[in-house]
Amino acid sequence: MDTAATGIDCWIPPRRVRDGASSHHRGFCRRIAGRGVEVPRGRWPCRWAASLLVTAALACASGPADAGAWLFEPGDGVVIVTSAFTGSANAYDADGRLQPIPEYRKFELRAHIEYGFTPWLTGIVKSEGRLEVQDLDVRTAGVDGIGARVRLKETDRAVLAAQVIGYTPGLDRNGAWIESEPAALDARVLFGRGFTAFGRHAFFDVQGAYRFSAGGTDDEVHVDLTLGFRPVERWLLLAQSFSTISVGAEEPYRYHKIQASAVCRVYKGFSLQVGATGTVGGVSALQERGAFAAIWYEF
């Protein structure tokens, strides 16, 4: 979006960032079980509406899944760098009951890039590295993904889109494939809508996805929800939930995470997000708790 042409002081607070699918869960859970948006044409003031909907386009990425429903204008885009630290001393067993486990810790560093090619097509590239520690077992892994989001339908305040991202197999520090992290294809439908609450601007984003894994034994269904509220112009508050359900796994698993964060514009084109995340329920899954921070640059 050309902010100079529109006179809009737009900025990009963070969206949801992928949590490494749930591939890092599979290896540990098996052990457990074995036991760019256009300026809207509606009634909202232009400055508020454009800023909010660009916010909505990306705010949904500050957690485990992928992009929000809105797209970038041609030539516009964003670069996001996120670091996260989580840990767990408990895990949900095959009956959904919490059981103590050896302390598990995870550090993640993620990069996410989006670029608008046309008004209806936004390209996506992402990369992730992580370090996991449990007992004396130290593991490193990396995953890369590339894909695109296509706009299907747009109104003054809402947008419907489809997105496909292909992920490489997980690789360890020696460059070997990680068996529990096969190549995957994530296909999802996204719907976002802006609205007014308590006299302030807000939005929600709903995503449903099916993740196909190589071999077809580790497919997943994802349901991701985001609610954003702007109490003042520079600040955005986010409440999010992310649900993952295995399909066809030899040892079924599922888990549900919630996340809360605050986003602040710190300089032209730059925004900072900080938040907390945690697992609130699951089967054959870790009960993770942690915090994250993200820096975004819009161009």
Confidence class for position 62, pLDDT limits 50, 70, 90: very low
The pTM of the full predicted model, rounded to 2 decimals, is: 0.77
150 pLDDT above the threshold of 90: yes
How many C-alpha atoms does 164 have within 13 Å on its Cβ side? 3
- The backbone torsions φ and ψ at residue 181, rounded to the nearest 5 degrees and listed phi first, read -130, 70
At a CB cut-off of 8 Å and minimum separation 6, what does 261 contact? Answer: 14, 62, 237, 238, 240, 273, 274, 275, 276, 292
CA dihedral sign, ordered 4, 50, 295, 131:
negative
37 touches 203 (CB < 8 A): no
Tell me how far apart the alpha carbons of residues 123 and 148 are, in angstroms, rounded to a whole number: 4
Residue 246: CB atoms within 10 A of its CB come to: 25
User: Looking at residue 134, what is its pLDDT?
Assistant: 76
CATH superfamily assigned to domain 3-298 = monomeric porin ompg (2.40.160.40)
User: Looking at residue 66, what is its pLDDT?
Assistant: 43
Range scoring the smallest mean pLDDT among 40-49, 100-109, 143-152, 283-292: 40-49
- Residue 2 three-state SS: coil
Q: Which of residues 18 and 22 earns the better pLDDT score? A: 22
User: Looking at residue 280, what is its pLDDT?
Assistant: 95
User: Looking at residue 186, what is its pLDDT?
Assistant: 95
3 pLDDT above the threshold of 60: no
DSSP 188-247: EEEEEEEEEETTEEEEEEEEEEEEEETTSSSEEEEEEEEEEE-SSTTEEEEEEEEEEEEE
Range scoring the smallest mean pLDDT among 45-49, 78-82, 190-194, 276-280: 45-49
Q: List Cα–Cα distances, 125 to 195, 196, 228, 238, in angstroms.
A: 30, 32, 24, 24
12 pLDDT above the threshold of 80: no
Domain boundaries, the chain: 3-298
Structure token pair of residue 118: 């046309």
How confident is the model over 208-245, as pLDDT tens digits?
999 998 876 789 999 999 999 999 988 999 999 999 99
